[in-house]
Amino acid sequence: MIWIISVGALSIITIFFLDRLIRSFRVSNYWNKYVMITGCSSGFGEALARHLDNLGFNVFAGCRSAQAMEALSKNSSGRLLPILIDVRENQSIESALAEVKRILPEGRGLWGLVNNAGVLGIVGISEVLTREDFHKVFEVNLFGLIETTRHFLPLVRQARGRVVNMSSIAGRIAFLSGAYGTSKFGVEAYSDLLRREMYHRGVKVCVLEPGGYKTSFSDFNNLTPYLVQLFDERATEEMKQCYGNVRKLYDKLIASQVQYVPNDISPVVEAYTHALTSSFPRTRYYVGKDANFLRLISCLPTCLSDLILALPSSSGT
């Protein structure tokens, strides 16, 4: 029995190190590769665009405003080219595609498409969210991602490159994440669908599933008063009795975010970079301690994960 356990443990360790070794192989000639990134006005997108520029990639950095484009142009090389794009609008996506095609050398495709653009929307108790609340988030996080991919995919296929989609650990396990988490479940499903469609067509599809990081995208400082006010305005008396003291609930949730969510976003940039530069990129990148913890929770039987993550009863608040 001991012999069997030892062989099994040794096999697992060997597979782990072989995987790490294989994933460490890198593609070459960054200077000859072109990458399109959405959501580069700030946060992960801006940091990734500048990092790839420093590595020598040619970067099309998608921004929603001329001001963001101008800011991104500062302290960057001529390889970083800001592109105006609003993923909510098909006409804007088509204009960005035309601009990318105009700039690309003849016969050259896109090595990478990074669907980074996203919005948080309203989080919290889903019963007070409206169809419009969900639609505003889906319009960017899911529908915009799908439309951008649909338009740029032929260029990625031409270069036998890869599509990298920003999801979230909230797309693996749902807990008070509102329309945001729901939209990210859609990103996961679409990415699985696309990966299998592209499997024999030379295109790799990767998904990032980060936990919480402090960026302009997720400013928690003034979130509790806003969510409490929203609940008070929208909830019926029956709902208020049902959920109890929501201020205490939100305070506890957001305090944990403020205390434990890191400011350093470099692990996300590194995951993006690995997905674009590794000869054998991972299908999924779990980024952050909370993401890896919740990944384990998502593997538990549903009855156990529900017990851990269930919203407290009104009497317990």
Average pLDDT over residues 240-252: 80
Contact 118, 37 (CB under 8 A): no
**Torsion, CA 269, CA 273, CA 275, CA 280, rounded to 10:** -140
Instruction: Return the CATH fold of 31-218+266-316.
Output: Rossmann fold (3.40.50)
The residue with tokens 């936990």 is 211
**Integer-rounded Cα radius of gyration of the chain:** 21
How many C-beta atoms lie closer than 10 Å to residue 189's C-beta? 12
The length of the chain, given as a count of residues: 317
User: Which residues on adjacent β-strands are paired with residue 166?
Assistant: 208
pLDDT of 316 strictly over 60: no
pLDDT of 15 strictly over 80: no
pLDDT of 18 strictly over 70: no
Contacts of 150 (CB under 8 A, 6+ apart): none
How many C-beta atoms lie closer than 10 Å to residue 77's C-beta? 11
Contact 47, 94 (CB under 8 A): no
Summarised one tens digit per residue, pLDDT across range 77-122 is 989 999 999 999 999 999 999 999 999 999 999 999 999 999 999 8
pLDDT of 64 strictly over 90: yes
Please give the pLDDT value at position 26: 81
Summarised one tens digit per residue, pLDDT across range 186-205 is 999 999 999 999 999 999 99
- Per-domain boundaries in the chain: 31-218+266-316
Q: And the tokens for 41?
A: 């006005």
pLDDT of 317 strictly over 50: no
pLDDT cut 90: percent of the chain above it: 66
Question: What are phi and psi for residue 262, nearest 5 degrees?
Answer: -75, 155
- 85 or 314: which leads in pLDDT: 85
Residues annotated as catalytic are: 180
pTM listed for this prediction: 0.90
